[in-house]
Structure 1
Amino acid sequence: MPFATPLSDDVVLRDVTIDDAAALAEAYTRNRAHLQPWEPARPDDFFTEAAQRRTLDVQLKQAATGHGVFLALASGGDVVGRLNLADIVRGVFQNGNIGYWIDAGLAGRGLMTRAVTALAEHARDDLGLHRLQAGTLPHNTASQAVLTRAGFERFGHAPRYLRISGEWQDHVLYQRILHD
């Protein structure tokens, strides 16, 4: 089922499409320095339309099989952020992991909190998931504030959890239980 919800007068949260490849390459290029401390080290090729098209192709296949939901924050023809629900596990777990980023020029406006909240409601109401999980670097207080405002609670600390910005870094783990 297609997903789209307005976050503000000028930003909508919607499913990504293969046609977003050029806009994603532009968005990642525009936000390269802004995102660098929070993401894996990226080769120069990552910032090209071709690389983004390959990534979108994989993500759209995962979405088609129910293993992920891949969204863009869009303003006009520009991509101004991403919100992904990946690694969906069914069975007794009914869980997925979220990751997100927003354009440097839009940070601090509450857009990502609204986006994460909307995705959590979609995961509960439409996908039947029981739990969402996210991890942040310990010093990423802005991301932690997004999660807390979106109803997530801190539940753990994972030493050397992910290789971010070229180093194995600790993460603070958050979860949101979607059903009582």
Structure 2
Amino acid sequence: MRTESGFLAEGPRVGIRTLTREDAGEFTALAAASRALHAPWLFPPADLEAYATYADRLIDDPSRHGFLVCERDSGRIAGFININNVVEGAFQCGAIGYGAFAPAAGRGLMSEGLALVLRHAFTGLGLHRLEANIQPRNESSVNLVRRAGFRLEGYSPDFLFIDGAWRDHERWAITKEMTRWDAEPAPTADPR
């Protein structure tokens, strides 16, 4: 269900909407301008051909959902949050991946956007659990999920092949029961 503005959900400063093929120009320009911010953690598509492949996967594969976090006043893309590898049935789980673009970094827009995606995932998509796998030195990413109420569940050596090497990751997760909808997602007891 979309709001009057076309967003799936809105907060005070951002709204979330589904990624489209038509977002290619703005998305790739922002990704190219944000390389220094993303490296060595993440490599979003920075050219039209790579974006086409990326968008096709997110749009055509029912086990993936691609969302853009957009500034409400201008509609500019602030970042992206994807839910990948959705498994239904008794599991009802997905893995999230995300990134802010340089103009929005450090402004709290992704925190607001992630809260909106969590609510949509747990209510609109019917998921029960979301996981985030994060390289331990990626402090910005760890801080984002911690603020959203995710809990640290474990450590996976050599988990993902990124930037030419197998990288260790921390496993963070949140369940529907860990959130509350009258405010931001509930904090966890983990003070890190």
TM interval, shorter chain, is: 0.7 to 0.9
Q: Which structure has the higher relative contact order (CA within 8 Å, separation 6+)?
A: 1
Q: Secondary structure at the match of 2:91?
A: coil
Q: CA deviation at 1:68?
A: 2.1
CA offsets 1:125-170 (integer angstroms, 9 cap, x no match): 1111111000111111111111111110000000011122222110
Matched, 1:103 2:101: yes
2:15 to 12, 15, 22: 12
Match of 1:47 in 2: 46
Contact 2:132 2:173 in 1 (8 A): yes
Distance 1:93 1:156 in 2: 19
Matches within 5 A, 1:136-155: 136-155=134-153
1:105 and 1:27 map into 2 onto residues whose CA distance is: 8
Say which of 16, 20, 25 aligns to 1:22: 25
Q: Secondary structure at the match of 1:47?
A: coil
Aligned-pair distance for 1:21?
1.0
Q: Aligned partner of 1:72: which letter?
A: L
Q: CA deviation at 1:108?
A: 2.1
In structure 2, how many angstroms separate the alpha carbons of the residues matched to 1:79 and 1:26? 11
The alignment-based identity, stated in percent, is 32
* Unaligned segments of structure 1, at least 5 residues: none
Moved over 3 A (4+): 6-9, 75-78
Task: Name the CA distance, whole Å, in 2 between partners of 1:8 and 1:26.
Answer: 26
The DSSP-based 3-state class of the residue aligned with 1:116 is helix
The alpha-carbon deviation at position 53 of structure 1 amounts to 2.1
Q: Does the 8 Å contact 2:16/2:117 carry over to 1?
A: no
CA distance in structure 1 between the aligned counterparts of 2:51 and 2:76, rounded to whole angstroms:
14
Partners of 2:86 and 2:120 lie apart in 1 by 13
Once superposed, what is the RMSD of the aligned Cα atoms?
1.9
CA distance in 1, matches of 2:88, 2:150: 20
Which residues in structure 2 correspond to 1:1-180 (within 5 Å)?
Answer: 1-2=1-2, 4-9=8-13, 11-39=14-42, 46-62=45-61, 65=62, 67-75=63-71, 76=74, 78-179=76-177
Residue-by-residue CA offset, 1:88-118 (whole Å, 9 max, x unaligned): 0011111000010001232222221221121
- SS of 2:177's equivalent? coil
Q: Taking structure 2 as the reference length, what is the TM-score of the superposition? A: 0.81
Per-residue deviation, 1:73: 1.9
SS in 1 for 2:40: helix
Separation in 2 of the partners of 1:91 and 1:150? 25
Between the aligned partners of 1:120 and 1:80, the Cα distance in structure 2 is: 17
Looking at secondary structure, tell me which structure has more helix per residue. Answer: 1
